[in-house]
Amino acid sequence: MYSILFAAAVILRYRQPHVPRAFKIPGGNWGISLIAVIGITGALFAIGLGFVPPAQLEEGKLWIYETYLIVGLGLFSVPPFLCCKYQKPHWINQGLQLE
């Protein structure tokens, strides 16, 4: 999710440059791009680190750890898709009012 948020920040900065922002990052578009690359890299590293089994794991129990990871990833991936599928019509474009 964090990777998507950082990517969205860059995309919105280029697609809608004149929309007032709540904060400014020094360096303009280059600055936001640099921060986004660092953020995406950190988020992907954290996800990858989750797939390294802990040292305390007993021999032969790796499948339990992997099962927890796969089931957890699946469970946490479902709600965003359900929200998109069952969204109410008044949720669309409610937050951003361009004048």
Whole-model pTM: value is 0.58
The predicted-structure confidence for 54-82, as pLDDT tens digits, reads as follows: 788 777 788 888 888 889 989 999 998 88
Asked if residue 15 has pLDDT above 60, the reply is yes
Task: Please report the pLDDT score of residue 8 as a whole number.
Answer: 93
Task: Please report the pLDDT score of residue 23 as a whole number.
Answer: 80
Query: What are the CB-based long-range contacts (under 8 Å, 24+) for 32-39?
Result: 35/6, 35/9, 36/6, 36/7, 36/9, 36/10, 39/2, 39/3, 39/5, 39/6
Confidence of residue 34 (pLDDT cuts 50, 70, 90): very high
Angstrom distance (rounded) from CA 17 to CA 9 = 11
Q: Domain map of the chain by residue range?
A: 2-91
Asked if residue 90 has pLDDT above 90, the reply is no
